[in-house]
Chains A and B, each alone.
Chain A
Amino acid sequence: MNTFKLDRREFLTLTGVAGGGLLLGCSSSSNSSQAMFVKNNQAHKLNIFVSVRPDNRVDIINHRSEMGQGAKTGVIQMIADELDVDWEKINVVQGLGDKAYGSQNTDGSTSVRKFYSKLREIGASARTMLEQAAAEYWQVDVSQVQAKQHKVFNLTNGNSLNYGDLAELAAKQPIPNVAKLTFKSKEQFKYITKPVPIVDLHDMTTGKATYGIDVELDGLLVASIERCPVLYGKVKSFDASGAKAIPGVVDVINMPETVKPVVFSAGSGVAVIATNTWAANQGRKALKIEWDLGENKDFDSEQAFADMASKAQNPAKRSAEKGDITAGFAKAEQILEATYKVPFLAHAPMEPPAAAALVTDTSCEIWAATQNPQAVMDNVAGMVGLKPEQIKVNVTLLGGGFGRKSKADFVCEAVYLSKKLGKPVKVVWTREDDLKMGYFHAGATAFIKAGVDKHANITAWQQRSVMPSIKTTFAPSTDDLLDVELSLGFNDIPFQLESLQGESSGYVNPVRIGWLRSVSNIPHAFALHSFVDELAHANNIPTHKYLRQLYAEDRLIDPITDYGFKGYKNYDESLQRHPISTQRFKAVLDKLEQTVNFDEALPAGQGWGLAIHRSFVSYVGVASKVEVKDGKLTVLAMHSVIDCGVAVNPDRVESQLEGAMIFGLSLALMGRIDIKQGAVSQSNFHDYPVLRMQQCPELSVAIIQSDAYPGGVGEPGVPPVAPSLVNAIFTATGKRYRELPINQYLTV
């Protein structure tokens, strides 16, 4: 397997143009013909994803961004299996930004679940064209030929042709009718459901893998930007003389003023342009800037949390209702209530945002670590006076993303500067930039009050979610939450409830809010699964047993009809294909119970906790074992169980779940962004710590074997981690922590 870069011109001309003049049946084994193949080795395009070359190699496009989640490999697996190609003969080509591929927004754990059918069709269609070509060549009916392992066989006489031999003729075949395509059964899968090593594995162990920050171009300049620390503030004046005195600095440029709404635009600041990154950073330090900090200069996140906590105690906009909650509370034997808090969080991918651009009078080419090249095209088009489809976006590998790199702001900066200078410019963010200028995960408060009868069955459940909506980034005065936010682990409770009331409120908030790995599921799952654990303890029932009681009989939950939540989104999937199934929750619980003995007698200071959450249409349970001794918390073990339907690459599913436990532990133990006087307080890994190896518990992952349609994998592992952890701490110590992060209470 090679990774392979395709030039745009070549890409556009790959439309089945006969070029090589190679004869079918020409053997690719002799040296003399090899030379000819190299010379005439034009790729013959069978569809937008698949081209076959006469030398028998097959180019397959990956149209999704690779940021560690394994999409680049998964996409190729899905196409390659139905195409029946030899894995070693694939050139993986990273697709440019192009709407023809469908959505390239690599977000929402969608790469497999949204493309499983389509990419298998793509592979099957190309394979059918190769079969049609062989049938034409042999003058037999297409039913008399069969593709297998990079060859098409003539079933009447056993002859075969390599895919490469058929390339030119295949490209001339009519596009097969999708309804008539045939697909492999799961027993026939060669790549799907197999732990195929990732495409870039070798390069990633030799330093050859290329990320956004690694882009090299002739005459490339590097920009480092001092941005206004407060959103919607602006530059009043600046003195560039110190910066310009630094050797290597070539220019200092005032960035455009941040406009409202900020969306993904480049904003207020001063850019130092230099011949290398260090000179740019040094020049930046020598800038003297006077800011007009603007309307948000007094914003304080502590005050925001106090406001949100008070909002959470009062009636708010109702989005879900079932039964009579007043009657439910009236008949309850016991009523419990609690308020939970999750701070603002930053993504902190190891590669900070980085992008390069080359803008001329008539063109704009971009190289970026972006999760969403089409959003880049849409966002920069107006800046350069071109149509979105005229912007060429090359997607590099991403050194982590977690949602941060789906925002195009850093790309817009590169485009702005390249346009100004008429030269190629790469914008490189420092770690401080990354933490201070994020699109932050919304700090959130949730309130839950429930009544239970004498059997601990829930008679009334009242809940409120309060946080700044992601929409504030796009419409700053938004003061309620979106249906999609309320669909993320809030108004989709899988428990048996006699009555329910779901309410919510937004919070007008002057920092940029963005989505972070599993988004509003983080605060919602933290509140929900902590509270259920509180209910279980209050009723002296082990939580794992109480969960089974609350899931009750096997049934499907429809938030629209069951809870009157008309805006339920179900992760943009139908409830028919991706139902909310209590049976699947219980199967995850069964598997956790087989893995862990929740009732084992442990030494003092140790305890188990668990939480099971459905998000991105997959189900994940996490069991945590902790020890608390002399104010020091040690996470001893963590086990994840996932039901994500068909696991296209079980090794990557495992690695995502391992990573999700670590990501979830980072945020639960230490994650916290504070905003004081409108600006972020944290600056680097010393004050925004993330988990290190010595803090990492023993981890295990189990995948439930399933034939269900694939669900998401990159995000669903995160939400159950924090509640599982605090529940374990409660078992160990009897102390209930309702506000994250835990390091404000215990040494971690």
Chain B
Amino acid sequence: MELKINNQIHQVDAPDEMPLLWVLRDLLGKKGTKFGCGQGLCGTCTVHVNGQPMRSCITPVAVAKNSEVTTIEGVDEQGNHPIQIAWRENNVPQCGYCQSGQIMSALNLLSNNSTPTDQDIDSAMSGNICRCGTYPRIKQAIKDAAKVMNQNKGAKS
């Protein structure tokens, strides 16, 4: 089947029910998306399908056919999206393993809500577990990124 991932077309030979996560990781070698629970409980495997955050560990690859899939590798070629920069400026990661999923969830939040409150952030990020405990820094990074993204928007308009 044909998949469009990070604006590139890929051909994969996979059964329809194979989770998108394992297609990305094992068939296409895109290892930035991580496995955490296999049940859609921890958010580690979050990717976007047509701009919507999806838990790729429970999303059959068939769902992604004729869709735009975005993974952590597609957020910004150099890693310079304001969210990624804010993540680094706040020294968010500890082990780093869940951060791809965290960033993908944060990206979705900020594309729908440019000025999230603490509660908005809690609710958007509640599906993403970080066992190291980087939540306070994630929250701060989201707020910092929101500011920069709003300034950028202002500058463009």
User: Which A residues form the contact surface with B (CB < 8 A)?
Assistant: 66-70, 195, 197-198, 200-211, 213-214, 216, 222, 247, 275-278, 281, 348-352, 397-402, 428, 430-432, 651, 655-656, 658-663, 666, 684-686, 690-694, 696, 698-699
Contact = CB atoms under 8 A, between A and B. Distances in A.
Q: Which residue among A205, A277, A399 has the maximum number of chain B CB atoms within 10 Å of its CB? A: A205
Contact of A696 (B15, B93, B103, B136): B136
Nearest to A201: B88
Interface in B1-39: 15, 18-19, 22, 25-27, 29-39
Interface in B99-141: 99-100, 103, 121-123, 125-126, 128-139
Given A276-B22, A350-B42, A431-B39, A659 B132 contact: yes
Contact of A350 (B32, B72, B88, B131): B131
Contacts of A207: 30-33, 71-73, 100
A281 B26 CA distance: 13
Contacts of B132: 68, 350, 400, 659, 662-663
Closest 3 CB pairs of A and B: A207-B32, A662-B133, A399-B97
A651 B91 contact: yes
Contact of A685 (B41, B79, B88): B41
A400 B95 contact: yes
B126 A694 contact: yes
Contacts of B41: 684-686
A278 B22 contact: yes
Given A211-B97, A350-B34, A350-B44, A205 B87 contact: yes
Given A277-B26, A348-B131, A69 B96 contact: no
A691 B37 contact: no
A70 B126 CA distance: 26
B62 to A, nearest CB: 14
Contacts of A430: 38
A175 B116 CA distance: 59
B92 to A, nearest CB: 8
A690 B38 contact: no
Nearest to A348: B131
B131 A205 contact: no
Nearest to B75: A206
Nearest to B26: A276
B29 A216 contact: yes
A696 B98 contact: no
Contacts of A401: 95
Contacts of B152: none
Given A211-B97, A662-B132, 13 more contacts: A197-B88, A204-B99, A207-B31, A210-B31, A278-B18, A351-B35, A352-B35, A399-B97, A402-B131, A430-B38, A690-B131, A692-B126, A699-B136
B85 to A, nearest CB: 8
B138 A205 contact: no
21 contacts: A68-B96, A201-B93, A202-B79, A204-B93, A205-B103, A206-B32, A213-B34, A278-B18, A349-B97, A351-B35, A399-B97, A399-B98, A400-B131, A428-B35, A658-B134, A661-B133, A662-B132, A662-B135, A666-B131, A693-B122, A699-B136
B64 to A, nearest CB: 15
Interface residues of B, number: 58
Contacts of A201: 88, 91, 93
Contact of B126 (A69, A397, A693, A699): A693
B50 interface: no
Contacts of B99: 204-205
Given A68-B96, A349-B95, A206 B84 contact: yes
B136 A431 contact: no
Given A198-B91, A399-B97, A694 B122 contact: yes
A685 B42 CA distance: 7
A640 to B, nearest CB: 12
B94 interface: yes
Nearest to B30: A207
A604 to B, nearest CB: 24
Contacts of B31: 207, 210, 214, 216
Q: Which residue among B31, B73, B99, B131 has the maximum number of chain A CB atoms within 10 Å of its CB? A: B131
Contacts of B33: 207
A659 B133 contact: yes
B143 to A, nearest CB: 13
A62 to B, nearest CB: 15
A693 B128 contact: yes
B136 A658 contact: yes
A200 B121 CA distance: 26
Nearest to B86: A205
B141 to A, nearest CB: 10
B25 A277 contact: yes
Nearest to B84: A205
B133 A350 contact: no
Contacts of B73: 206-207
Contacts of B96: 68, 200, 203-204, 209, 397, 399
